[in-house]
Chain A
């Protein structure tokens, strides 16, 4: 299953263009798939949602990412061939593999793992070097300090050290805020770059009680923006953290901070920054999620580019959004370290007059890893290697999470919850992070932690009425399918085990979910009680063992783990959708 010579040549050219391999022929590099020839005056590089994946991983892109209402048929709500068609990507190519789920199992074996900080660093350094170090910037959209065993155990510090070595200049956050507030502040202190967020404020009560605050007058918990001088040009980078952190994640770890989209504040800040600093470009480093960014771009004027994340959408080209002041570009740069976005801007005294953008998949087999970063990663992992490498079971089929509804890895987690905690039904959050394990590969504890390593991973098993179950499903469905992006939270649908249901995503809040049935076909009754197991409760700490231990226990008991039934819902009300694979 090796790649043919032509493909190999293309990949070599790609790697050469990225500086990963010795370049014998500059012309070949120019012709490479991802033309990284310098353009304009400044180069802005962007990574996002790496979820603490220091080493190369597999990550299967979704086959269900529904776009409804205004988002129908447009990026990021395109999957498979619809995505390839929209961006003119030829099927069967390395980038078709990178951007879609198509032929994932075979292509993943052929092209190998993606991402990894040592590989990313080689690429970044090369792109800085060819452009001119002082004219480049590396931004990180957040969800960096969470997603692996080591990040959880070091409370995000392994990633702070790795980001310092990578040379991240500016970052914002989301899962960063799932550590305790004093840990967040200590990590930011240790971070060499600027941590920016215009939409995180210290509550009035906390200011009254002398809580730390970046700006007492504005209430900003962190610096809202930073001005970067780059080769004589000024670029303003405004931070936009995930607006719904204290709702989607526990507020108890960060009781003094209040979030929100705050697009009126954003407009005021953009106007103020433009007046005060006369920047050549104003960009937003955002963790809103792509649909929220699209709406914000239509309402706020004066932003040149929104570098987006959160929704883990690998969008090959920026979308242009019109607003009162002109146009704003909106990007999204995928997840798990799989991509590096490069935006070269052509600047003049009038501002941004041109751009060139590439979303480069980081094929790690083709990039020489940076030695210093390799040593750092080895060092960070050393104390935990025994635990990380524990072999639990063999995967009968490829295990993945990403998609609007149950992924196969979620199903394993849900099956484990039911079995170990002796429950009829299980629930698991619709997180969009979580790496993939290929069919036939051994699932290690590290793989399990990639799906489960959070600061509130405790489980529960309790009686729940059918009415309560429906309420939960309806609530999460509205977070995903609400017509107005500002009311969406950017996660996927809650995963279920032992429960089937029908969903009409186009219906209104409270009436999307019908036909809830147990695996044996018995209808769920509103007034009846069911034993339900789950994890990641946000209100208060759950009483049970951590989900990683529950899942590991389930896997250890079998040689090969099979998904006998995927509890994916029946979708109604939608004829066909470019965000739904055929």
Chain B
């Protein structure tokens, strides 16, 4: 299958993930989605906000967003992932998305998020009951004036 076909095949799933960020997941994460601070959201989701920064977690994000309305993010991990979540500190609801993985599934998530302003973005991987993270600042700028 060539890339265009693959993209067509998965596009339905991608669209659903973007269009329904709040409805797509069950009520157990509803309070986490509503929490207006990253630590609180992490607590709500994982029962703890304790996490360690890990080189095993890779967060691919632009340093400066081309369009704050659709910022592409990719989280991958070599750890056996049970769950991956993304938090955007400055967003009104910091928990941008969460995904759970079955045993043996590759820990990879690609999504697009809306960001109203420059913020730290934190990717959290739950593995073996522990939380591992990677973070990066993504700048949202008004643009222009470049030389």
Write the residues of chain A forming the contact surface with B, with a CB cutoff of 8 angstroms: 204, 207-208, 210, 216-217, 219, 244, 246-249, 251, 258-261, 264, 310, 312, 429-433, 471-472, 475-476, 478-479, 484, 486-487, 489-492, 494, 509, 536-539
Digit string of B48-64 for contact with A (CB within 8 Å is 1, else 0)? 00000000000010111
Q: Are A217 and B66 in contact (CB under 8 A)?
A: no
Given A251-B67, A479-B141, verify A208-B7 contact (CB < 8 Å).
yes
Given A487-B63, A487-B139, A489-B64, verify A248-B145 contact (CB < 8 Å).
yes
Report the minimal beta-carbon distance from B112 to chain A, rounded to whole angstroms.
Answer: 10
Selected from B11, B64, B66, B72, the residue in CB contact (under 8 A) with A251 is: B66
B143 within 8 A of A: yes
Given A251-B67, A258-B66, A475-B142, verify A429-B147 contact (CB < 8 Å).
yes
In addition to A249-B144, A429-B145, A479-B146, 19 A-B residue pairs with Cβ atoms within 8 Å of each other are A204-B7, A207-B3, A216-B4, A247-B143, A251-B67, A260-B66, A261-B63, A430-B145, A431-B146, A472-B142, A476-B145, A478-B139, A487-B64, A487-B137, A490-B146, A491-B146, A492-B147, A538-B144, A539-B144
Q: Are B4 and A536 in contact (CB under 8 A)?
A: no
B1-49 interface with A by 8 A CB criterion: 2-4, 7-8, 11, 14
Q: Are A216 and B2 in contact (CB under 8 A)?
A: yes
Report the minimal beta-carbon distance from A487 to chain B, rounded to whole angstroms.
Answer: 6
Report, nearest first, the 8 A-B pairs whose CB atoms are least far apart.
A248-B146, A491-B147, A432-B147, A538-B144, A431-B147, A491-B146, A429-B145, A486-B63
Q: Are B146 and A217 in contact (CB under 8 A)?
A: no
Q: Are B147 and A490 in contact (CB under 8 A)?
A: yes
CA distance A137 to B27 in the complex (A): 62
CA distance A251 to B147 in the complex (A): 15
CA distance A492 to B146 in the complex (A): 7
Contacts of B64 on A, CB cut-off 8 Å? Answer: 244, 247, 487, 489
CA distance A534 to B94 in the complex (A): 36
CA distance A208 to B6 in the complex (A): 9
Contacts of B11 on A, CB cut-off 8 Å? Answer: 208
Mostly, the B contact residues are loop
A-B contact pairs, 16 of them (CB 8 A): A207-B3, A207-B7, A208-B8, A217-B2, A217-B3, A248-B144, A260-B66, A261-B63, A429-B144, A429-B146, A430-B145, A487-B64, A489-B64, A494-B145, A538-B143, A538-B144
Contacts of B14 on A, CB cut-off 8 Å? Answer: 204
CA distance A472 to B62 in the complex (A): 21
CA distance A472 to B2 in the complex (A): 44
Contacts of A537 on B, CB cut-off 8 Å? Answer: 144
B118 within 8 A of A: yes
Contacts of B147 on A, CB cut-off 8 Å? Answer: 248, 310, 312, 429-433, 490-492
Q: Are A491 and B63 in contact (CB under 8 A)?
A: no
Contacts of B146 on A, CB cut-off 8 Å? Answer: 244, 247-249, 429, 431, 479, 489-491
Q: Are A208 and B144 in contact (CB under 8 A)?
A: no
Report the minimal beta-carbon distance from B144 to chain A, rounded to whole angstroms.
Answer: 4
Q: Are A260 and B145 in contact (CB under 8 A)?
A: no
Contacts of B7 on A, CB cut-off 8 Å? Answer: 204, 207-208
CA distance A425 to B48 in the complex (A): 52
Report the minimal beta-carbon distance from A296 to chain B, rounded to whole angstroms.
Answer: 12
CA distance A471 to B118 in the complex (A): 13
Selected from B4, B67, B139, B143, the residue in CB contact (under 8 A) with A210 is: B4
Q: Are B66 and A536 in contact (CB under 8 A)?
A: no
Report the minimal beta-carbon distance from B41 to chain A, rounded to whole angstroms.
Answer: 24
Contacts of A219 on B, CB cut-off 8 Å? Answer: 3
CA distance A46 to B55 in the complex (A): 38
CA distance A472 to B142 in the complex (A): 8
Which residue on A lies nearest to B144, using beta carbons?
A: A538
Report the minimal beta-carbon distance from B66 to chain A, rounded to whole angstroms.
Answer: 5
CA distance A472 to B60 in the complex (A): 28
Which residue on A lies nearest to B138, using beta carbons?
A: A487
Contacts of B60 on A, CB cut-off 8 Å? Answer: 264
Report the minimal beta-carbon distance from B90 to chain A, rounded to whole angstroms.
Answer: 12
Which residue on B lies nearest to A492, using beta carbons?
A: B147
Contacts of A478 on B, CB cut-off 8 Å? Answer: 139, 141
Task: Point out which of A216, A433, A537 has the most chain B C-beta atoms below 10 A from its C-beta.
Answer: A216
Which residue on A lies nearest to B112, using beta carbons?
A: A204
CA distance A216 to B64 in the complex (A): 25
Contacts of B118 on A, CB cut-off 8 Å? Answer: 509
Contacts of B4 on A, CB cut-off 8 Å? Answer: 207-208, 210, 216
Selected from B139, B142, B144, the residue in CB contact (under 8 A) with A536 is: B144
CA distance A259 to B3 in the complex (A): 20
Contacts of A248 on B, CB cut-off 8 Å? Answer: 143-147
CA distance A374 to B11 in the complex (A): 54
Q: Are A471 and B142 in contact (CB under 8 A)?
A: yes
Which residue on A lies nearest to B142, using beta carbons?
A: A475
Contacts of A486 on B, CB cut-off 8 Å? Answer: 63
CA distance A251 to B146 in the complex (A): 13
Contacts of A492 on B, CB cut-off 8 Å? Answer: 147
Contacts of B62 on A, CB cut-off 8 Å? Answer: 260
Task: Point out which of B4, B67, B139 has the most chain A C-beta atoms below 10 A from its C-beta.
Answer: B139
Given A208-B8, A489-B64, verify A536-B141 contact (CB < 8 Å).
no
Report the minimal beta-carbon distance from B80 to chain A, rounded to whole angstroms.
Answer: 23
CA distance A492 to B147 in the complex (A): 7
Selected from B3, B63, B66, the residue in CB contact (under 8 A) with A246 is: B66
Report the minimal beta-carbon distance from A72 to chain B, rounded to whole angstroms.
Answer: 22
Report the minimal beta-carbon distance from B24 to chain A, rounded to whole angstroms.
Answer: 19
